[in-house]
Structure 1
């Protein structure tokens, strides 16, 4: 191949789509790299104090939450996934989608609700005293503890494990289980000897999502007074006004996240999970009767009640007490702020997701692999880390643009970009790019390259091919990605707290502010609004997924 031919192919592939993809990669990478550059600076006096007196407690508490939440979410999620996938029992059609609904309740809202319900003046203890005349306040009922945080995280994060594992079992495990039954194995043995080993990739992948959520949490741990790495970043930033030490904490936290990735990859690489035949048969559910059916309904119903029904009913009751005080013009402003920033960030994410996924489909495998992994890496990075990285990057950007600001007459060294909503939107893009990108990438993979290649042979470029051919075929994937991204942004708390401009509040930050001021009942209205939007979105995505499976 001649040099001119190589040059011509390079120019053909280096178009606007590739340039936009590279810009998207830079947006994701630069804030993260700015965190690691902070390790090159010499630590200050505060860091020595943090390292000597506080860092051990932060690490131990974070590790406790990660380990026990992981164990319990796997226990609950995999058990429910096996029940729904392998058995038929009364109410199964309801529980198939109802057990996903706890994902619509942010853990911090659940923490506020349950802590108030089981407090001395809450509905549980008041009912015991007034109805039964019992002073009942056991130590294990103290939910504002490490054990209570594990309880909250387990109930409201198990759907990650449930959804991914159930989908895997329903599609991939049928032939293995049928063979085991023919060999005389009972269902108890099948679950532990066959189901758990073959579902290991799905379980590991889903529990990693749970771990990332626990590591990045700030609302639950700060409200319960638990010292973790995430709360330490906030305290160092706002309590000590020490951004350098907060950056150093974020860098070490980021190193721990990368370590988790390496461990997860090593665990997967040691085994092979591919089927020996391409003819994977779906799992045929077994009908449960009598006591077995009763136990299945009781367990599924109890999880649904504690993880969704009870907190939602309590929030609705509280909202009837306070709606006249909360539903004012300021609430309308809160809602508009939330919808505005979520819509802008979602539009940016979906635009970049489409561009990058389309480029990865056209370019070579090595380039596509690196590009896709980098662009989706932000979801595994805790929000507090991204917030610090974005703030550091924008401060440097403002310093770089200072001559331009002076020329514009804005002052000597103003903070323009780092005091605006632009910084919040960029942080959302970095954090939630994976949500939109994964949906778009799945849509492209399902569609294949046949239609795209035919269009290119007819002389259409990438842009015209996308709008004429690709877009009509992947509207479902785009819609599901948009909905999931929008909901995630609406629920986001740590980054919004750290980066929002002065006097800019969203529903999530206002809910946190109410709870911090011990006004949990007033927090019910904004909490219900977030939950209502999330529930509608979860149900819409569930229905859309079922329709696409047909």
Structure 2
């Protein structure tokens, strides 16, 4: 009886909105499932070699980056969030938004910038030798190592933790912290015994973002020579020309991702973090004076200089040396490719996100939860895995469609999908659907259901209600979702490197190619263009968030 009732309810809800949403979820899930199928496929000789001699090093390298970067990025992000929320000190209001600017700098750009600056002929060692007659022991301050990769990834990923923890502490922590202060908790006691425990959901959310970014990273690890599962996928694909072995590596990396998910859920299986709406008042910061105020300002300033000012200033200096050579029609074409590709993919993402978020709003709890997870699963999957899956699926579709290609006069054995821009855009859509979807879903959560119900009562159908009532109220969320998704796609490197057509290059791919070829100074101008696009997007997001809090 219950199954029959469930079937009847599903038939009632199976409309255009639902079909499009399920189609989007299937598109996202298909390449990922295809990659996982690599676990049960027969292994070739290359895979046996990789498994016997290399896999252990790849796994250990990935674990080192995840553990150390996760610890340091989370520590810095939480401490900075608590400082700017819990206390007042010089430049505190400025640091509240300035410490999010490092998100505009792709880590792979920071990697080659710092590597060049700290090398023997770089600015730092040259200045110490020539100006102060100080000889630096070889390898002392150079960053071309695992330690350097942790340093770079920490500096340019901590804003994820900082942003989420800051928002949580501003909106959810006031009652707990003020009561703790009344009970006599001082600074360190308050931080370790109250702030950290109540911020655990936000800290874990930020940490998970950092972990996913580290596992997805290819640019920093490859440039610094760190063996990770992500770099192994590229090496197997491009050096051995073995897509099957690359798919097996991607499948094992997926197993690691799933394991992290399961572990995180298990560790907080019995934890509840609920705060009543009456408690959601802003936290009143306490003033710091003397050495404490100086220390807070100095710590924030050091992090800001290292994670934004120093690399950007160095890139500007290098760009002035190569400006005339690099400013050409080719650079304009790269910029247009980056902007157009990101804009098209973002537009598709927002269309699917709008339709899916509205479908979730009208569904019962568990189907809605399932659809939400399916739509956002791509962001937790490293770009290299998605690229492998998309390529494999497109090649399979090309095989199925080959008779159609032949009938259209395109020739035998044509690989149309797997050599077209469609494949790159599909990779972007799958990887970054979560960014657009979460923004739209948040917007829907703020719209009372009574608005839609009133429109339906007045005779408006689902489409009319959506376009005349819900869509105007979602404008702010749509703009936020567009900016968030757009900037992520513009900076994306692994998917772009693996899936771009031969005649299609972007700022991210060209910048990294210059760096790999040791043409560091020539990479400066496209890097600045990439950072400039990202910076404008970040500033737009900060302005939108500031207007929401007024």
Query: Could you state the TM-score of these two structures normalised by the residue count of structure 1?
Result: 0.97
1:230-258 C-alpha deviation (Å, 9 max, x unpaired): 00000000000111100000001001100
Aligned to 1:536: 536
Aligned CA distance change for structure 1 residues 220 and 5 (closer, same or farther; 3 Å):
closer
Alignment of structure 1 residues 351-370 onto 2, 5 Å: 351-370=351-370
Aligned to 2:546: 546
Aligned to 2:271: 271
1:30 aligns with 2:24: no
1:339 aligns with 2:339: yes
Give how far 1:210 is off: 0.2
Q: Which runs of 4+ in 1 moved over 6 A?
A: 3-9
1:181 aligns with 2:181: yes
Alignment gaps of 5+ in structure 2: none
Distance 1:261 1:278 in 2: 32
Aligned to 1:74: 74
Aligned to 1:143: 143
Give how far 1:278 is off: 4.3
- Partner SS, residue 376 of structure 1: helix
Aligned to 2:111: 111
Aligned to 1:506: 506
Alignment gaps of 5+ in structure 1: none
Give how far 1:272 is off: 2.1
Is the contact made by 2:128 and 2:134 (CA closer than 8 Å) also made in structure 1?
yes
Distance 2:378 2:446 in 1: 24
Is the contact made by 2:172 and 2:279 (CA closer than 8 Å) also made in structure 1?
no
Is the contact made by 2:339 and 2:490 (CA closer than 8 Å) also made in structure 1?
yes
1:169 aligns with 2:169: yes
Give how far 1:280 is off: 3.3
Give how far 1:401 is off: 0.5
Aligned CA distance change for structure 1 residues 288 and 99 (closer, same or farther; 3 Å):
same
Equivalences, count: 550
Aligned CA distance change for structure 1 residues 258 and 60 (closer, same or farther; 3 Å):
same
Is the contact made by 2:24 and 2:375 (CA closer than 8 Å) also made in structure 1?
yes
1:77-134 C-alpha deviation (Å, 9 max, x unpaired): 0110010000011111110110000011000000010000111111101111111122
Aligned CA distance change for structure 1 residues 10 and 383 (closer, same or farther; 3 Å):
closer
Aligned to 1:491: 491
Distance 2:51 2:5 in 1: 58
Distance 1:4 1:462 in 2: 26
Aligned to 1:404: 404
Aligned to 1:154: 154
Using the TM superposition, name which of 269-278 and 483-492 deviates more.
Answer: 269-278
Is the contact made by 1:156 and 1:307 (CA closer than 8 Å) also made in structure 2?
yes
Is the contact made by 1:125 and 1:137 (CA closer than 8 Å) also made in structure 2?
no
Distance 1:217 1:7 in 2: 43
Is the contact made by 1:361 and 1:368 (CA closer than 8 Å) also made in structure 2?
yes
Distance 2:47 2:212 in 1: 25
1:424-476 C-alpha deviation (Å, 9 max, x unpaired): 00110000000000000000001121111111222212221111011111111
Give how far 1:277 is off: 7.6
Distance 2:374 2:7 in 1: 27
Aligned to 2:523: 523
Is the contact made by 2:322 and 2:522 (CA closer than 8 Å) also made in structure 1?
yes
Is the contact made by 2:456 and 2:462 (CA closer than 8 Å) also made in structure 1?
yes
Distance 2:464 2:185 in 1: 57
CA RMSD of aligned residues (A): 1.8
Distance 1:460 1:139 in 2: 70
Is the contact made by 2:387 and 2:495 (CA closer than 8 Å) also made in structure 1?
yes
Aligned to 1:476: 476
Give how far 1:11 is off: 5.5
1:31-57 C-alpha deviation (Å, 9 max, x unpaired): 011112222221011111111110011
Give how far 1:139 is off: 2.9
Is the contact made by 1:349 and 1:429 (CA closer than 8 Å) also made in structure 2?
yes
- Partner SS, residue 90 of structure 1: coil
Distance 2:513 2:129 in 1: 31
Aligned CA distance change for structure 1 residues 417 and 192 (closer, same or farther; 3 Å):
same
Distance 1:119 1:453 in 2: 65
Aligned to 1:232: 232
Is the contact made by 2:439 and 2:478 (CA closer than 8 Å) also made in structure 1?
yes
Aligned to 1:190: 190
Is the contact made by 2:144 and 2:225 (CA closer than 8 Å) also made in structure 1?
yes
1:525-544 C-alpha deviation (Å, 9 max, x unpaired): 11111111111111111110
Distance 1:82 1:300 in 2: 12
Aligned to 1:314: 314
Give how far 1:5 is off: 11
Is the contact made by 1:432 and 1:485 (CA closer than 8 Å) also made in structure 2?
yes
Using the TM superposition, name which of 348-357 and 4-13 deviates more.
Answer: 4-13
Is the contact made by 1:490 and 1:530 (CA closer than 8 Å) also made in structure 2?
yes
Is the contact made by 2:174 and 2:279 (CA closer than 8 Å) also made in structure 1?
no
Aligned to 2:254: 254
Distance 2:410 2:221 in 1: 40
1:64 aligns with 2:59: no
Aligned CA distance change for structure 1 residues 456 and 300 (closer, same or farther; 3 Å):
same
Is the contact made by 1:175 and 1:282 (CA closer than 8 Å) also made in structure 2?
no
Give how far 1:297 is off: 0.7
Aligned to 2:17: 17
